[in-house]
Structure formats: C-alpha cells, structure tokens
C-alpha cells in the first residue's frame, strides 16, 4: 500500500513537516510513504492560467495523488483555518479531470504550539473535502498541541506518547483505506 503525505507548511523547520517525515516510521508494515511536492511550487490559482493550459506541476501533483492508495494531510492551522498555500493547492487539484481526490482515503493530522493542536483547521478541511468527495476517516483524530516540546532540534518527532498515538491512528487508517 502506498500513501502520499501533503504538508500544509512551507517553512523548512516546520513542526508539521517533522510529523510528516515521521510517518514513514510510524506507518504499519507494508505501507510505503512518500512526501508530495511543496505547496509553494504552484502559482496562485487563476481560471485564466487554467484556460491557457493546466500547469505541468499541477498535473504532476495530481498524478502522484492518483497513483497513491491514500493521502495523509499534515498541516498547521493559519488564522483558524487551512493555510492559504495548502488550500490553493487543493483548489488546483480540484480542477483536474479525473479529479484525484474523489473517493480517495484521506487522513488529517495537525499540530500547533498552542493547546488546540490545529483543531480549527481540521474541521474547515473536512468541509472542503465534502464536495470533492474524498473518503475522510473520522476518528481517532490527531491534533498535536505544544508541538515545539515534542520535536527535537534537528526536526525529529521525538515524543513517545505522540508517536504511539499516531501509530494507533495509522493502524486504523490502514484498515479504513483497505476497505476502499
């Protein structure tokens, strides 16, 4: 089974990227995990650009998603919602035909330095995915609070409790995705 991971943050030292990189180790056996390209690689969506021809990076991104068995989004919350860059990438992908998020098993994770752990981002993202008809897992939900205390200085998700909880979630997600 092949999963791809979409990181909502562009920053090199991103805590959410640290979690995203850790998924390879935390996923159940038999699952390969690859990171999708940065959401910063795409222009701001414009219907005029699209009319002139779908950008190659969008098509390539869509193909990576299409070829994966499942998608994990790991993202911070920006201003109580989905980061604009990630939303912009979703807006682009939503224009592809066939649309690769349709029916795709999808898992959401978030992290923040505060106590909410990015919760507000998750529910906005869930609404965004309704019309796109992604197949989003409900529970358990992973919202990592105080993430700056759980990632080491060299960008490794080191907190054992968090690692265990994510392992449990990924196990559930593997079963969820397999039902497809």
Q: Which residues bind a second copy (CB under 8 A)?
A: 9-14, 39-40, 42-48, 78-91, 94, 115-117, 119-120, 123-124, 126-134, 138-139, 141, 143, 145, 179
Note the helical H segments in the chain: 15-26, 47-51, 56-67, 84-93, 119-132, 160-179
CB–CB of 26/166 below 8 Å?
A: yes
Residue among 24 and 172 whose Cβ is closer to a second copy:
172
Q: Minimum distance between the CB of residue 49 and a second copy, rounded to whole angstroms?
A: 8
d(CA 9, CA 156): 16
Q: Minimum distance between the CB of residue 25 and a second copy, rounded to whole angstroms?
A: 25
Tokens of 44: 């701001």
Alpha-carbon distances, residue 114 vs 103, 118, 137, 153 (angstroms)? 33, 8, 24, 18
Q: Minimum distance between the CB of residue 62 and a second copy, rounded to whole angstroms?
A: 15
Residue among 56 and 179 whose Cβ is closer to a second copy:
179
Residue among 3 and 15 whose Cβ is closer to a second copy:
15
Residue among 24 and 176 whose Cβ is closer to a second copy:
176
């Amino acid at each position: 089974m092949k999963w791809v991971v979409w990181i909502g943050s562009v920053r090199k030292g991103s805590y959410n990227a640290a979690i995203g990189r850790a998924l390879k180790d935390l996923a159940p056996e038999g699952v390969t995990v690859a990171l999708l390209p940065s959401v910063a690689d795409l222009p701001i969506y414009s219907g005029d650009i699209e009319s002139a021809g779908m950008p190659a990076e969008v098509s390539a991104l869509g193909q990576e998603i299409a070829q994966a068995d499942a998608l994990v989004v790991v993202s911070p919350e920006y201003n109580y919602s989905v980061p604009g860059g990630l939303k912009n990438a979703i807006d682009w992908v939503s224009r592809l035909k066939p649309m690769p998020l349709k029916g795709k098993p999808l898992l959401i994770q978030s992290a923040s330095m505060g106590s909410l752990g990015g919760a507000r981002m998750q529910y906005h993202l869930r609404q965004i995915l309704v019309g796109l008809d992604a197949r989003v897992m409900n529970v358990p939900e992973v919202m990592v609070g105080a993430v700056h205390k759980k990632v080491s200085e060299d960008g490794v998700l080191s907190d054992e409790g968090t690692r265990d909880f994510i392992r449990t979630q990924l196990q559930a997600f593997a079963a969820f995705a397999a039902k497809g």
